[in-house]
A and B are shown apart, each in its own frame.
Chain A
Amino acid sequence: MSAAHGGPVSGFGAPEVRTEPGHRAVGSPMAGAPKGSRNTRKSSLRTHQRWYVPWLFLAFGLTITITFILFPFFNTLGLAFTDATLLRDGQFTGLENFRRMFDDPRFTTALLNSTLYVICVVPFMVVLPLILAALVAGKGRLLGFFRTSYYLPVVMSVVIIGLIWTNLLDSRGLVNSLLQWIGAIDSPIPFLTDRWLLLFSAMMVTVWSGLGYYMVIYLAALANIDQSLYDAASVDGAGTVRTFLSVTMPGVRSTMMLIAMFSSIAAFRVFGEVYVLTGGTGGVGGRNVTMTMLIQSEGTGLQAETGYAGAISLAMFVIMGALLLAQLWYQRREEDA
C-alpha cells in the first residue's frame, strides 16, 4: 500500500539515512506500475487545472528546501575558497584553505577519528542487529516486549544517552566498580580520559543506541524470506547456526548491504556521542574531535572562520559522496555477478 523505503527513518533528525531513498527510489515498484496508462489519463485531468495550481501546492516545500538546503550548499561551495569569517566577507583565496587543511593536525585527527568510526562501528551494526532480529522475530507477547525494549534507546536523544554513559564509564562509575568488584581489574580503566579508549567508548555507545533501529529493518527483511526455505533446511537436517548462515543470511543480503551503507554514512557524521562523552572539548588536547565536531568548532561562534569551515565541509561532502558511490558500485557489481 504505502510507499517507500526508509519511511521511518525520515525524521531521525538528519542523520542516519537521508541518502537512502534517493538511490533506491529508482527501482521502486511504486514508481513503475501504472505509468503508461496514467500519462494519457493525467492529461485529461490537466485540462481542468490552471498552470499555477501545482506550484501553489509546491510553494512551501520548495521555498524551505531551496532556501535552507540548496542555497546553503552552494554558499558552502563559495565559502570554501575564501578567507571569510563570521564578521566579515572574505576575499577569494583559491586553494589556500585546502592547503591549510592538510597541514592542520586537527583536520587529520578528525579525519582519522571519523574514518576509524566507520571501520569499527559498521561491522557491528551489520551483524549484531541481524542476530537480534532473528532472535526476536515471531509471535508472542514476550518477544514483542523484547522488540519494544530493544528499540527504546533509538528514541532517546544522544545527549541523554551520552550523559548516562558518561556516568557509567566514569572512573568511579558502575562499569569500573563492577569490574573491580568481580576482581577483573585493580585500578579503574580510564574510559573517558584515554585518547583511544574514549573513541572506542563512544563507538560502543553508538552501537548500543543503534542496535534496535537496524534490528527493525532486519525484521522486515526476515519476514520476506520464503518459509519453505526453512522447511527445506530442516528436512535436510540443518542446525540453527547452519540455517542462519545458509538461509537467513543470503535472504537478507541486500538488506545487509543497505545497512552497511546507512551505518557507514551515519558513522562518518558522528557528533553527539563524542561531543557529550568529552564534555564538548573533543578530549584531551582535542584529539578526539570528529569531522562534524571540527566543522562545529571552526565554523560557529564569534571567532568562526566560516571560510575555512566551509572548506572542511566541502571535504566532508566529497568523502561522503565517494563512500556512497563506492558502495553503490560494489552493490551493482555484486548484483551483476
Chain B
Amino acid sequence: MSSAVITSTPQDQPAVKPRRRRVRKGSIARYAILILMFLLLAGPLVWQLSLSLKGAGDDIYATPPEVIPNDPTFEHYTAVIDRLPLLRYVFNSFLVAAMVVGGNVIGATFAGYALARLKFRGRGVAALVFVAALLVPIETVIVAQFLLVRSIGVNDSLIGVALPGLVAALNVLLMRNSFRAIPQELEEAAVIDGANAWQRFVRVCLPQVKGMISVVVIFAFMGAWNDFLWPLIVLSDQNNYTLTVGLNHLRGTFIDDPRLIAAGTIIALIPIVIFFVALQRFFFRGLESGGIKG
C-alpha cells in the first residue's frame, strides 16, 4: 500500500487524457456512461418526488409512466404529516444525532489526545481497548447491548438509542492519529512556557486537528441519523421513534397508497440532502485528505 496522502481533488484523467486522437470518441462514450449512471442513481429519487406530487387527476400506474404530474398537489405531504408524527420523528433523530456528535467529538478528541501525546503507564492497554472494540461487529453484541440498556432502565428512550454510540472506537483512533501528526516542537514550546496537559491540549493541539474533528462530526451525524437496527430494537413507544424507525412504520400504515409513502420519504430526505449539499466540500475533503491511503 502506498502511503501518499492526497490533499486535493484528484486531477488526473487517466482513461482519456493522453490520447488526443481518440479524445472525441472516448469522451462521448464516457459521458454516455456517466449520464446513464446518473439516470440509474437519480432516477428513483426523481420518480419518488414525482409520485408524491401526483394528484387525483393522475393515473400513477399509467403506461407509459409519466414523470411530470398532470394534476400536481401537495395534499399527500399534509396527509402524511397528519397521520404520522413525522416532524416529531425528525426532532427525535436530531436529538439522538446531537448527543452522538457531541459525545464523539468530546470523547474521541480527549481520548485521542491522551493516547497520542501523553506518556503514561497503561497507555498500551488503553489503546488496545479501542482497537479491540473496533474489531467487534456491532450486530454480534446487539442482544447483550439490549439487555444492558434494559437493565439500566433506558430502553425505549432516546438516551438508550444514543448511549452505545456515544464514543466510537474508530473516531478515537482517528483522532489519535491526527494528534500524532502534530510536530513535537509545538508542544515542547508550550511545555517550556509552563503549560500543563490541559492547556497544551486546548491551546496548542486542538487547533491543529480541526479538519479531523469536522470529519468526525459529519460521519457521527450521518451514522446516528441513518442508524436503523439499534433504534428498531430499543424503541417501542411510537412517540420515541427516530425517523428511520418511523419511516419503516410508514409502510405498514399506508401500504395501499404509494403516493403517501413517497411524500413521507421525500420529507425524510430533505434534512440529509441539505446537510450533504451544504457540507459536501468537507465530505470529499475528509475522504480525500483525511482519509484513505490506497
Contact = CB atoms under 8 A, between A and B. Distances in A.
Interface of A: 1-15, 18-19, 21-22, 24-25, 27-31, 34, 37-39, 41-46, 48-49, 51, 53-55, 57-58, 60-62, 64-73, 75-76, 79, 86, 132, 134-139, 144, 146-153, 155-160, 163-168, 170, 172-174, 177-178, 180-181, 208, 211-212, 216-225, 227, 230-231, 233-234, 239-240, 243-244, 247-248, 252, 254-255, 258, 265, 269, 271-272, 275-276, 279-280, 291-292, 295-296, 299-300, 304, 306, 309-310, 313-314, 316-317, 320
Given A7-B291, A160-B268, A244-B15, A152 B148 contact: no
A144 B284 CA distance: 11
B34 interface: yes
Nearest to B210: A2
Given A54-B120, A222-B14, A316 B140 contact: yes
B171 interface: yes
Contacts of A53: 118, 120, 196-198
A15 B250 CA distance: 24
24 contacts: A5-B292, A8-B287, A10-B170, A10-B171, A11-B224, A14-B223, A31-B177, A49-B118, A57-B118, A65-B172, A66-B129, A70-B132, A75-B144, A136-B34, A155-B222, A160-B268, A217-B287, A220-B294, A230-B14, A271-B229, A275-B248, A276-B251, A296-B229, A299-B142
Determine chain A's interface SS by DSSP, over half rule: helix
A152 B42 contact: yes
A2 B177 contact: yes
Contacts of A11: 104, 168, 171, 216, 218-224
B167 interface: yes
A320 B48 CA distance: 36
B4 interface: yes
Interface in B118-158: 118-123, 126, 129-148, 150
Interface in B144-199: 144-148, 150, 163-178, 180-181, 184, 187-188, 191, 196-198
Nearest to B268: A160
B164 to A, nearest CB: 4
Contact of B251 (A58, A66, A279): A279
Interface in B5-39: 5-7, 9-19, 22, 26, 30, 33-34, 37-38
A55 to B, nearest CB: 8
A295 B142 contact: yes
Nearest to B196: A48
A258 B292 CA distance: 11
B258 interface: yes
B148 A8 contact: no
Given A58-B111, A65-B167, A69-B169, A42 B9 contact: no
Contact of A1 (B7, B48, B255): B7
Nearest to A320: B137
Contact of B292 (A8, A54, A146): A8
A149 B41 contact: yes
Given A64-B163, A160-B247, 12 more contacts: A1-B5, A11-B168, A13-B223, A21-B173, A30-B177, A58-B111, A65-B172, A155-B222, A157-B228, A159-B228, A174-B47, A296-B142
A167 B288 contact: no
Interface residues of B, number: 153
Contact of A9 (B103, B211, B219, B255): B219
Contacts of B215: 7-8, 10
User: Among the interface residues B41, B145, B252, B286, which one has the most CB atoms of the partner chain A within 10 A?
Assistant: B41
Contacts of A65: 129-130, 133, 167, 169, 172
B14 A300 contact: no
Contacts, number: 471
B148 A138 contact: no
Interface string B210-250: 01100110111111111111001100000000011101101
B200 to A, nearest CB: 9
A136 B41 CA distance: 15
A291 B143 CA distance: 13
B181 A163 contact: no
Contacts of A275: 228, 248
B72 interface: no
A73 B134 CA distance: 12
B86 to A, nearest CB: 12
Contact of A54 (B123, B224, B255, B261): B123
Contact of B10 (A137, A180, A269, A280): A137
A58 B294 contact: no
Given A54-B120, A220-B10, A310-B143, A233 B272 contact: no
B289 A1 contact: yes
A3 B142 contact: no
A177 B61 contact: yes
Residue of A29, A66, A252 with most chain B CB atoms under a 10 A cut-off: A29
Contact of B38 (A27, A149, A158, A178): A149
A291 B139 contact: yes
Given A11-B222, A54-B118, A317-B137, A299 B108 contact: no
A43 B119 contact: yes
Nearest to A305: B143
A160 B45 CA distance: 10
Contact of B177 (A4, A18, A75, A217): A4
Given A139-B9, A163-B247, A10 B216 contact: yes
Given A76-B143, A79-B144, A230 B63 contact: no
Give the top 4 A-B pairs by smallest Cβ distance, nearest first. A11-B219, A3-B177, A221-B294, A11-B223
